[in-house]
Amino acid sequence: MTVARKKEVRPNRASRAAVSARPQPKRAQPRLDPPKKLSKAELRDVERRLDERQRALTAAIAEERRRIDNEALPQLDADVGDQVDQAFVMTSVEMERGLIDRYTEELGKIAAVRERLASGVFGQCTDCGEPIGAARLQAQPTAVRCTDCQWRHEKIVDIATGAMAS
User: CA triplet 119, 120, 125: central angle to 5 degrees?
Assistant: 110
Among 109, 149, 152, 153, interactor with Zn ion by CB under 5 A:
149
Query: Is residue 131 close enough to count as binding Zn ion by CB under 5 A?
Result: no
Give whichever of 17 and 128 is closer to Zn ion, judged by the CB atom: 128
Distance in angstroms (rounded) separating the CA atoms of residues 132 and 36: 8
Binding segment toward Zn ion, per CB under 5 A, in 11-19, 44-52, 59-67, 124-132: 124-132
Check binding of 152 to Zn ion (CB under 5 A): no
Which span (43-51, 104-112, 116-124, 141-149) binds Zn ion, by CB under 5 A?
Answer: 141-149
Question: With binding defined as CB under 5 A, does residue 72 bind Zn ion?
Answer: no
**What residues from 91 to 120 belong to the interface with Zn ion (CB under 5 A)?**
none
Binding test (CB under 5 A) with Zn ion, winner from 81, 92, 127, 153: 127
CB of 145 to Zn ion, least distance (A): 5
Q: What is the DSSP letter of 20?
A: H
Q: Which of 136, 161, 138, 157 has the alpha carbon at shortest distance from 146?
A: 136
Q: Does 137 bind Zn ion (CB under 5 A)?
A: no
Residue 28 has phi, psi (to 5 degrees) of -70, 150
Per 3-state DSSP, what percentage of the chain is helix, strand, and coil (rounded to 5)?
A: 65, 0, 35
**What DSSP state is assigned to residue 162?**
G
Residue closer to Zn ion, measured from CB, 19 or 139: 139
Q: Figure out which of the listed residues 50, 89, 125, 137 binds Zn ion, where binding follows CB under 5 A.
A: 125
166: amino acid identity, one letter: S
Query: Taking Cα atoms as reference points, which of 131, 125, 122 lies closest to residue 151?
Result: 125
Residues near Zn ion (CB under 5 A): 125, 127-128, 146, 149
